[in-house]
């Protein structure tokens, strides 16, 4: 699936192992950036065909709905096999490089490379590796090389470290609506499909509490944590916190 409303250079491109991963874990930042006028896209690596609930067709429709809520410029699905992502697959790596070079984002979001779900950590590593390769002049995809300025990792189940927290208080409602666009995956009292952790009645409460926790760490209502491998230069700490 490829929903491209605008194919100009993107400011931020989020990669997710499954449709709804970006919304659940980085939807606040994505909503905030589009509200501020940045061009943002999401690339789902798989169609989520191994999911206990829903179907590929329903997830496709839900992803398109979420894209509208978030105001995305681009939403694509690379169609890799769900449950079998590999950071070592040369063809998968090439397809991610091609996506990065096509959209030329300044910032890339990827899942944290530590997680209990193998698609999450392997997908995060795949994107991280591809972001580096995208800037190499001798990695030939018949496209111009593109140097990503920064790869930011969003935690999904485990929080390894927090490099910074984004205030998403003003955008949490948009994030929630984008998540709930994936209705097949979450609590529905009349659903006959098998129950999962995220489809439990209590899950959204846990999920919101996590956003409140990270918001509280920075004195805000809601927050999202991000991790970077590289340190960041702060030229003027006084100005930053004035």
Q: pLDDT tens digits for 185-203?
A: 888 888 888 888 888 999 9
Helix (H) or strand (E) holding 204: helix 203-217
Region 107-133 average pLDDT = 96
Region 45-73 average pLDDT = 94
* Statement: the pTM of the whole predicted model exceeds 0.85: yes
Q: What is the pLDDT of residues 46-57, one digit of tens each?
A: 998 988 888 999
Q: Is 123 exposed, middle or buried (0-12, 13-18, 19+ CB in 10 A)?
A: buried
Distance separating alpha carbons of residues 170 and 15, to the nearest angstrom? 23
CATH number of 2-230: 3.20.20.70, 3.30.1180.20, 3.30.67.10, 3.40.50.10320?
A: 3.40.50.10320
Nearest to 27 by CA among 220, 211, 157: 211
Q: Is the pLDDT of residue 135 over 90?
A: yes
The pair of three-digit structure tokens given for residue 189, joined into one six-digit string? 């009292």
Confidence of residue 7 (pLDDT cuts 50, 70, 90): low
Region 95-108 average pLDDT = 98
Q: Is the pLDDT of residue 18 over 50?
A: yes
Look at phi and psi of residue 37 and say left if phi exceeds 0, alpha if psi is from -120 to 50, else beta: left
Measuring CA to CA, how many Å separate 139 from each of 104, 105, 134, 135, 227?
15, 18, 7, 8, 27
pLDDT at residue 227, as a whole number = 96
Number of Cβ within a 10 Å radius of residue 138: 6
């Amino acid at each position: 699936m490829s929903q491209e409303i605008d194919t100009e250079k993107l400011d931020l491109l989020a990669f997710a192992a499954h449709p709804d991963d970006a919304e659940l874990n980085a939807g606040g930042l994505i909503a905030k950036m589009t509200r501020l006028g940045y061009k943002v896209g999401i690339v789902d690596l798989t169609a989520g065909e191994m999911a206990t609930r829903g179907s590929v067709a329903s997830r496709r429709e839900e992803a398109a709905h979420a894209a509208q809520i978030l105001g995305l410029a681009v939403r694509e699905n690379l169609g890799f096999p769900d449950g079998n992502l590999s950071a070592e697959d040369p063809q998968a790596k090439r397809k991610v490089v091609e996506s990065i070079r096509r959209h030329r984002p300044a910032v890339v979001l990827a899942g944290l490379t530590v997680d209990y779900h193998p698609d999450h950590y392997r997908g995060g590593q795949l994107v991280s590796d591809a972001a580096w390769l995208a800037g190499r002049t001798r990695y030939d995809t018949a496209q111009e090389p593109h140097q990503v300025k920064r790869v930011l990792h969003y935690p999904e189940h485990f929080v390894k470290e927090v490099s910074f927290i984004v205030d998403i208080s003003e955008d949490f409602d948009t994030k929630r609506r984008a998540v709930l666009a994936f209705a097949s995956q979450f609590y529905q009292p009349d659903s006959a499909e098998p129950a999962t952790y995220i489809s439990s009645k209590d899950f959204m409460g846990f999920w919101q509490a996590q956003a409140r926790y990270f918001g509280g760490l920075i004195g805000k209502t809601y927050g999202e944590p991000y991790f970077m491998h590289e340190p960041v230069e702060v030229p003027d700490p006084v100005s930053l916190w004035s």
